[in-house]
Amino acid sequence: MKLGFHISIAGGFRKVVPRAIELECSTIQLFSRNPRGWKYKPLQKEDIAFFRQAIEKERISPVFVHMPYLINLASPKTELFQLSLKALTEGLRRNEMIGAQFLIMHFGSSKNRTEGIQRMVDGINRALNEIRNNVVLLIENTAGSGNELGYKFRDMKDLFDSVNDKKRIGAVLDTAHAFQAGYDLRTEKGIEQIVEEIENLMGLHKVHLIHLNDSKTECGSRSDRHWHIGKGKIGNGMRYIINHPLLNDKPFIMETPRKTVKDDLMNLKRVRKFLEKKC
C-alpha cells in the first residue's frame, strides 16, 4: 500500500524528500506555490532538478500537487473565474516541470448547481486544451459547506461526462469530506454503499487518490474539520476503508492535524495497526 502525507515546501523543493523520508512516505502531496494567495514565484531549475532526482532515487511515487484554496472555477464572478483559470493553467505547467503526475483541485462553489458545473467544465476544457501534457487533473469531493458543489458524487459524474479529455480528469476521495457530507463511513455497510455509488456513477478507476482523514465533526455536519486517524467521528470505520479490497490498492495521503512530526508518525502507526488487524 502507498502511504504518505502532505509535505511542506518551506525552504525550497530540495527540503521535500528528506521530510518525506522522515515520515516513511512512499507517495507524497505538496503545494507548488502559496496555497492562500494568487501570486507565485517562478520555480528554480536547480531546486526542481534536485527534487526530481531525489524522488526517483527514493522511489516515491506518485507525486500529487494540490492547487491553492482560492480557486473557484464554478464562480459566476468573471474576475474570480479568470484568476482561477489562470491558476489552473499555470498549475498544469508547473506540475510538468516538477515531474508530478497529478494536480488536485477542489470542486467549486456556486448557488446554482447546473451553471456552476458548466462553468467548471468550460474552465477545465480550456485549461487542458491550452496545456497539452500528461498531467491528470483530480477533482476532490467536498464537505458541502456553504454553496460548495461536489459533496455528492453525482456532481462529479456530471462534470466528468462533459470534460472533453477523459484521460486527463479523475477524482480524489476525501474520507472526512464524504463523512461530513452525509456518507456514513463508520460501518462496513456504509463504506460498501459509497464504493458502490462511485462505481455505478463513474467507476472506481477514476479515483486516483484517497485523502485518508478522520473527522472532528459529525456525519452530515457539512463542516470540514480533519482529525487524527481512528480518533475522530469515523473512528473504527477508518479500518474498513483502509482494508477494503477495491480501495487498498490506491495511494493514501493523510492530511491530519500536525503540530510536530510526532503527530504524523502517530497517524502512520495507527494506519499500520489497522492494516495488521484486517476486517
Q: pLDDT (tens digit, 9 = 90+) per residue, 240-268?
A: 999 999 999 999 999 999 999 999 999 99
What pLDDT is stored for residue 75 in this prediction? 97
Given a contact cutoff of 8 angstroms between Cβ atoms, the answer to whether 253 and 212 are in contact is: yes
210: left (phi over 0), alpha (psi -120 to 50) or beta: beta
The answer to whether residue 205 is catalytic is: no
Count of CA atoms in the C-beta half-sphere (13 A) of 213: 29
In the CATH scheme, what is the homologous superfamily, with its name and number, of domain 3-276?
A: Divalent-metal-dependent TIM barrel enzymes (3.20.20.150)
Given a contact cutoff of 8 angstroms between Cβ atoms, the answer to whether 186 and 219 are in contact is: yes
Q: Which of 6, 19, 177, 244 is catalytic?
A: 177
In angstroms, the CA 138 to CA 155 distance is 14
What pLDDT is stored for residue 35 in this prediction? 87
The answer to whether residue 255 is catalytic is: yes
Q: pLDDT (tens digit, 9 = 90+) per residue, 28-50?
A: 999 999 888 898 899 999 999 99
The answer to whether residue 196 is catalytic is: no
Query: Over pLDDT 70: what percentage of the chain?
Result: 99
Burial 6-35 (b: 16+ CB within 10 A, else e): bbebeeebbbbbebbeebebbbbbbbbbee
The answer to whether residue 40 is catalytic is: no
Cell triple for residue 228? 487524527
Given a contact cutoff of 8 angstroms between Cβ atoms, the answer to whether 102 and 62 are in contact is: yes
The answer to whether residue 208 is catalytic is: no
Q: pLDDT (tens digit, 9 = 90+) per residue, 201-241?
A: 999 999 999 999 999 999 999 999 999 999 999 999 999 99
Given a contact cutoff of 8 angstroms between Cβ atoms, the answer to whether 212 and 271 are in contact is: yes
Q: Which of 6, 33, 106, 244 is catalytic?
A: 106
* Domain boundary assignment for the chain: 3-276
Chain mean pLDDT for the chain: 97
Residue 11 pLDDT > 70, yes or no?
yes
Mean pLDDT, to the nearest integer, of 128-154?
98
What is the pTM assigned to this prediction?
0.96
